[in-house]
Homo-oligomer: A and B are copies of this chain.
Amino acid sequence: MISLKTDYLKGFVAPDELRGISSAVRKAHDDLHQRKGKGAEFTGWVDLPSRISSDLIKELTDLGSGLAQENDCIVSIGIGGSYLGIRATLEFLGNPRLPVYYAGHNISGEYLHELLKVLETKRFTVVVISKSGTTTEPALAFRVIKGLMEKKYNPAELKQRIICVTDEKKGALRALANKNGFRSYVIPDDVGGRYSILTPVGLVPLALAGVDIQGFVDGAKKAQAEYAKCDVESNPCYRYAALRNLLYAKGKKIEVMSSFYPNVFYVAEWWKQLFGESEGKDHKGIFPASLIMSTDLHSMGQLIQDGERTLFETFMSIDKPRQDVRIPSDKEDADGFNYVAGKTLDFVNKKAYEATAAAHFEGGVPNMTISLSQADAAHLGQLYYFFEKACAISGYMLGVNPFDQPGVEAYKKKMFALLKEG
């Protein structure tokens, strides 16, 4: 279950105001579901969960089991939406069957040098994820890693060890896959990068790492049904979208996602891309930032408590973490914490969260909490869909096209010009 707690918006957003924008929410909902809003050609993700075939899930699950024997690790090559969701899922769930190394998500020579040192002694399979096959970062990383593989493996084995996730028909990677007979999977045309975690972009590497992709998809499917109704009262996904728009209109320009669960770190990175890239345009949009507590309470906590009152906070909580540690009694009791001996760390962690949410509220920071009852694949699948839909509704309410990213061309044009100068 995913729940949304909004007690600490009291005095910042009145219940009337939420009801007052219900027609804007309705319009966003209709635009999205009737595919008549901006960027409607990229809304294939809306009913994607219910369209994922059980054959694909079975094929990928079997493929993953098969590869587990003959590989020490997986290398996932991709950037942006072809990187963050995969990493977010694996780090959130922890302990994959096969470790996954990432490449093609930066242009760092030092990073790739260190990765090559590791890969030299490992048996590995590469998943290259790129719609076009010509995105600079993954293309260059794939070149270099393919070079290493050509030294390690004979052509027949090499062919088995490269899997492409790319366009159905067009592009350099599709051509390469077809020519060389690499196993390949299709990125649909109607789902943009940041909404692609439930397409083969996410499902292929996750299945290879041993994630329960059936549960993952089932969670998203549940979300598709649960968040379909246009009602800000009963639908927490729409409620979240509406509330953040109200807060933004009141001058809350920064949304800080805070979690006391370190495994949420990359989920927050994924969320930043989703909301930042969807809403940050036309000189508007909330600036998304993230904090991992209690680490960052000891760095950014001061500013959140007492700095400019232009931010709001969204906590991500987990009711039952997978593991916990009991606090031992200590006969010296030098630190004076014997009074919590016998309790668990998560007990203390949750008190720290409760205290922080209350203190920030009293300090002038409106905040909400999204809670997952469990930290498993199903709940994460549900959460991704929750945010995807909230982002689309929120973007439409803001008046932007939440499915394009015109601003990313500016540096690319300049970069290619500079590269061609040499």
Is there an interface contact between B285 and A106, defined as CB atoms closer than 8 Å?
no
A169 interface hit (Cβ, 8 Å): no
* A158 → B minimal CB distance (Å): 13
Binds B, one of A5-13, A68-76, A225-233, A274-282: A274-282
Identify A310's interface contact among B253, B322, B328, CB under 8 A.
Answer: B253
Q: Which residue in B283, B354, B418 is a CB contact (below 8 Å) of A418?
A: B354
Cβ contact within 8 Å between B281 and A419: no
- Residue from B272, B292, B336 in contact with A300 in the complex, judged by beta carbons closer than 8 Å: B272
Kindly identify which residue among B80, B172, B332 contacts A299, using a CB–CB cutoff of 8 Å.
B80
In the bound complex, do residue A105 and residue B295 qualify as a contact, i.e. CB atoms below 8 Å apart?
A: yes
Chain A 289-321: CB-based contact to B (< 8 A → 1; otherwise 0):
100111101111111111111110000000001
Asked if B108 and A321 sit within 8 Å, CB to CB, the answer is yes
Q: Given A109-B324, A297-B411, A323-B110, check contact A143 B335 (CB 8 Å).
A: yes
With A336-B172, A408-B302 as contacts: A415 and B307 at CB distance below 8 Å: no
Say yes or no for A235: interface residue by CB 8 A criterion. no
A155 to chain B, nearest CB (A): 13
A 327-340 binary contact with B (CB < 8 Å = 1; else 0):
11010101111011
A116–B105 alpha-carbon span in the complex (Å): 31
**For the complex, what is the distance from the CA of A112 to the CA of B263, rounded to whole Å?**
12
B419 touches A106 (CB 8 A): no
| Neighbouring B residues of A272 by C-beta, 8 Å | 299-300
| Stretch of A30-38, A50-58, A202-210, A341-349 contacting B (4+ beta carbons < 8 Å) | A341-349
| CB of A273 within 8 Å of the partner chain | yes
Which has the most chain B C-beta neighbours within 10 Å: A116, A406, A414?
A414
Question: In angstroms, how far is the closest chain B Cβ from the Cβ of A278?
Answer: 8
**Distance in angstroms between the alpha carbons of A363 and B288 in the assembled complex:** 19
CA A144 – CA B330 in complex, angstroms?
Answer: 10
CB within 8 A of A311: which of B287, B332, B414, B415?
B287
Tell which of A16-24, A132-140, A236-244, A379-387 binds the partner. A132-140
Residues in chain B near residue A408, CB distance under 8 A? 297-298, 301-302, 305
A337 and chain B: residue at smallest CB distance: B139
A107-B345, A254-B287, A418-B354 given; A113·B176 CB < 8 A: no
CB-nearest residue of chain B relative to A335?
B139
Is the pair B261, A108 in contact by a Cβ cutoff of 8 Å? Answer: yes
- CB-CB nearest 7 A-B residue pairs: A280-B303, A80-B298, A273-B299, A305-B407, A280-B307, A109-B324, A355-B414
The contact sample of 20 A-B pairs, CB cut-off 8 A, is: A79-B294, A79-B298, A105-B298, A106-B295, A109-B323, A109-B325, A136-B352, A139-B337, A144-B327, A277-B301, A280-B302, A283-B307, A285-B308, A287-B303, A304-B407, A305-B407, A339-B420, A339-B422, A352-B411, A354-B415
